C-alpha cells in the first residue's frame, strides 16, 4: 500500500469515477473526493496530494454562477501543471484544464458526440506514460459532450482525435492530461446519462436503449483498455509521490 493521495473533484452524482475506482484503489492510491456531492469543498491548494483528477459534468467550464466551485477547480488544474503534480481532466475536466491554461472551449460545430465512438491515437502518443500502448491505434470510448476544446494550451501535445472532435486527448507538460471522452464510463454510466436526458437524445434522433446496448456490447474492451490507463495513471502518481 502506497501513501499516495489523489484529489478527485466530482461535479455531480452521476459522473463519478466509474471503472477508475477499482483500478486506482487496487493500485494502492487513496482517493479524496470533494465538490458539491461531498461534504468537502474544493480546496485552494494541492498541498498534501500527489495527484489530481477532475471529472465530467453537465455545466460548461466557465459556468461559475451555476457551479461556484469552478474557479477553484481551474486554479487547481493550473497548479497541477505548474507543480508537475500528475493531473487528469475528463470531459468537463479537460475543458476546465484548457480554459485554465489559456486554451479555448466552444460548442462543437459538428454537434454532440454521444455514445460509443472511435478515438484514434496518433504516433505522438508513443512513449506517453498513459497512452503509449495506444499509439497509432483506434479504440472505442464513451462520449457524451457538446462542447470541445478547439484551441489547446500553448505547448500542449495532441495525442488523439475522433471524427467529430479534433482534440480528444492532449498532454500539457510531462504529467498533465486532458481527455474529452469518458474512459471511466461503461454501459451502466451510459444508461444513467441516457435516462437523465431522453429529450436530448430524441433531438439527435438517437434511441436510448440502442445507445446503451452499443456501449454494453463493448464493455469488455472498454474495461480492459481504460482500466489499464487508470492503473498507469496510478503508477505515475505513486512514482512521484511527495
Name the catalytic one among 11, 91, 113, 148: 91
Cell triple for 61: 467550464
Please indicate whether residue 91 is annotated as part of the active site: yes
Closest by CA position to 136, among listed 119, 156, 157, 117: 119
Name the catalytic one among 113, 145, 182, 213: 182
Strands (E), the chain: 5-9, 30-34, 51-54, 87-90, 104-107, 113-121, 138-145, 147-151, 157-162, 165-172, 176-179
Please indicate whether residue 182 is annotated as part of the active site: yes
Name the catalytic one among 113, 145, 148, 184: 184
Please indicate whether residue 184 is annotated as part of the active site: yes
Show the CA angle centred on residue 74, arms to residues 143 and 223, nearest 5°: 30
> Which residues are annotated as catalytic?
91, 182, 184
Amino acid at each position: 500500500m502506497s501513501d499516495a493521495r489523489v484529489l478527485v473533484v466530482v461535479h455531480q452524482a452521476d459522473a463519478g469515477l466509474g471503472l477508475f475506482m477499482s483500478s486506482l484503489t487496487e493500485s494502492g492510491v487513496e482517493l479524496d473526493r470533494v465538490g458539491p456531492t461531498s461534504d468537502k469543498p474544493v480546496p485552494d491548494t494541492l498541498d498534501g496530494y500527489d495527484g489530481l483528477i477532475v471529472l465530467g459534468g453537465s455545466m460548461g467550464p466557465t459556468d461559475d454562477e451555476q457551479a461556484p466551485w469552478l474557479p477553484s477547480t481551474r486554479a487547481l488544474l493550473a497548479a497541477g501543471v505548474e507543480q508537475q503534480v500528475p493531473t487528469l481532466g475528463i470531459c468537463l475536466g479537460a475543458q476546465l484544464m484548457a480554459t485554465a491554461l489559456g486554451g479555448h472551449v466552444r460548442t462543437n460545430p459538428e454537434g454532440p458526440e454521444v455514445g460509443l465512438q472511435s478515438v484514434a491515437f496518433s504516433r505522438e502518443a508513443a512513449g506517453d506514460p498513459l497512452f503509449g500502448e495506444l499509439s497509432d491505434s483506434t479504440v472505442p470510448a464513451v462520449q457524451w459532450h457538446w462542447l470541445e476544446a478547439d484551441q489547446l494550451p500553448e505547448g500542449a501535445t495532441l495525442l488523439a482525435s475522433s471524427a467529430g472532435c479534433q482534440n480528444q486527448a492532449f498532454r500539457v507538460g510531462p504529467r498533465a492530461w486532458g481527455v474529452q471522452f469518458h474512459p471511466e464510463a461503461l454501459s451502466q454510466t451510459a444508461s444513467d446519462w441516457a435516462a437523465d436526458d431522453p429529450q436530448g437524445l430524441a433531438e439527435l434522433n438517437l434511441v436510448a436503449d440502442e445507445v446503451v446496448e452499443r456501449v454494453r456490447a463493448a464493455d469488455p474492451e472498454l474495461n480492459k483498455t481504460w482500466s489499464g490507463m487508470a492503473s498507469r495513471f496510478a503508477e505515475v502518481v505513486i512514482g512521484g509521490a511527495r
